[in-house]
Structure 1
Amino acid sequence: MSGHSKWHNIQAKKGKMDAKRGKVFTKIGKELMMAAKDGANPDTNAKLRDVIAKAKAANMPNDNITRVIKKAAGENNSADFEEIVYEGYGPNGVAVIVEAYTDNKNRTAGNVRHSFDKFGGNLGTTGSVTFMFNKKGQIIIEKTDEIDEEELMMLALDSGAEDFIAEENVYEIITEPEAFDGVKEAIMGAKIEMLESEITMIPNVTTSLDLETSEQFQKLIDKLLDDDDVDNVYHNAEFDENFEEN
């Protein structure tokens, strides 16, 4: 993706998360409950550690985080939820992956299918689009005068990153999933603030959209993320450079 499109995607995602904080807490709560199934101690449960970091980045109160983990560990309510991944195509053949946590597969599948149908897309079969993505750790850092690009690059690569990309407004650091924690801890140790840090699905090929289709596709993303069961939406769209989210 171009620097503009990549930066737009980051801003749009963060804006949506900030604008719907109540829904964000609901979604992260489900993630916490799922992760706690494998142990309530983040020191020995890497998945739980990552979700706790995500919760804190979203400004979820510590009391809320602790309460959800204790509830999951004590009552095993997390067993009611399961993770489901849907794959499909948006307008103009954009590849879309939807991750959901649900206690009712029929409800979630119906809602996701309706969203695709309403905005010019369609659900696909398992494996229909995942080959266009790689699961990677991704860290985004804003470019500032205080950050020395070469020093940051060496810090990232020396701590296990596989790629360092200087975009127009940000630095993007890519890692293998198993190296993500080590790179993130090295950056935190250097007191460098991160805009985004997560395990994500990065497209290896992109689909360019014109302005009209960009607007239509954004409506699909918004509709999907508005569903409490939907946790993440990944895609390979490259938005039109003139598109600005309302």
Structure 2
Amino acid sequence: MSGHSKWNNIKRKKEKTDGAKAKVFTKIGRELAVAVKEGGGPDPNSNSKLKDCIAKAKAANVPNDNIDRIIKKAAGDGDDTKYENITYEGYGPNGIAVIVETLTDNRNRTAGDVRHYFDKFGGNLGTTGCVSFMFASKGVIIIEKEGLEEDKVMEDCLEAGASDFQADEDVFEIYTEPEDFSGVRDDLEKKGYEFVSAEVEMVPNTYSTLTEEESITKMQRLLDALEDNDDVQNVWHNWDNPDSDDQE
């Protein structure tokens, strides 16, 4: 299982400007609000969806005050915005598989935007299921290597129930089955580990490369456009671009 694409994504998120960081906070805030309303209330002990969102928010360095404020607002009557989860699937340049997960209060606006991005940058939006079979849903936990002993981390992860463990250049990558993710994460948290990232992701079964400069540029611009859209929560793809630290 290739992992460097994931780490490039994390590095990019860590190096974002304050403006882009605010956008990330806004998107995670929207996820938190939906988790409160749809997952069963503001208590993470009885709302596993919210608990997972809080862990994701903390890994993205969202301040605790922000998290608490969003949860309180969503639990009260102050925000009656209705969001729905819509997932789009399509192809980037040269058939790169792309999955776009959105939370939107206006499906027509979001569908129009997503279709426009694919058309503009050499791809095409497909039908539901056209590329998702090329991905597997997995819990992915990223821990920075610095100061940690690999054998000890691997032992702790496998003991916690992880299905796969890999050491990359800068990080440890821990994979779990989706249903085991929360338990593994909680167990590692109790052991004192801090996470660069922790969430359930769509992981490609195989990766594809692009060799033409024009296709690489268009693919990057497609990912940038999707990422900049406030309705887009996650973008998963099977583009393997090992020469770039600037990949989504």
TM-score (norm 1): 0.90
- Per mean C-alpha deviation after superposition, the further-off stretch among 185-194 and 171-180 is 185-194
Q: For residue 162 of structure 1, what is the aligned residue in structure 2?
A: 163
**Post-superposition CA distance 1:66-87 (Å, at most 9, x none):** 2222222222846611111011
Q: For residue 245 of structure 1, what is the aligned residue in structure 2?
A: 246
- Per mean C-alpha deviation after superposition, the further-off stretch among 47-56 and 108-117 is 47-56
Q: For residue 41 of structure 1, what is the aligned residue in structure 2?
A: 43
C-alpha distance 194-68 of structure 1, shift in aligned 2 (>3 A): closer
> 8 Å contact 2:60–2:197 — kept in the other structure?
no
- Per mean C-alpha deviation after superposition, the further-off stretch among 13-22 and 114-123 is 13-22
Report the number of matched residues. 244
Structure 1 residue matching 2:223: 3-state secondary structure: helix
- Tell me, yes or no, if structure 1 residue 193 matches structure 2 residue 194: yes
C-alpha distance 18-127 of structure 1, shift in aligned 2 (>3 A): farther
The aligned runs of 1:1-246 (5 Å cut-off) are 2=2, 4-16=4-16, 20-37=20-37, 38-75=40-77, 77=79, 80-144=82-146, 146-210=147-211, 212=213, 213-239=215-241, 241-245=242-246
CA distance in 2 between partners of 1:67 and 1:52 (Å): 12
C-alpha distance 17-193 of structure 1, shift in aligned 2 (>3 A): farther
**Post-superposition CA distance 1:22-51 (Å, at most 9, x none):** 211221121111101122111111110111
The structural deviation recorded for 1:215 is 2.8
The structural deviation recorded for 1:61 is 2.9
- Per mean C-alpha deviation after superposition, the further-off stretch among 191-200 and 72-81 is 72-81
Q: Identity of aligned pairs, percent? A: 56
CA distance in 1 between partners of 2:133 and 2:41 (Å): 31
- What are the ranges of 5 or more consecutive residues in structure 2 without an aligned counterpart? none
TM-score (norm 2): 0.89
Give the superposed CA RMSD.
2.1
Structure scoring higher RCO (CA < 8 A, sep ≥ 6) equals 2
C-alpha distance 3-85 of structure 1, shift in aligned 2 (>3 A): closer
Structure 2 residue matching 1:242: 3-state secondary structure: coil
CA distance in 1 between partners of 2:9 and 2:21 (Å): 18
- What are the ranges of 5 or more consecutive residues in structure 1 without an aligned counterpart? none
Q: Look up the equivalent residue of 2:144 and give its one-letter code.
A: E
CA distance in 1 between partners of 2:176 and 2:80 (Å): 29
The structural deviation recorded for 1:192 is 2.7
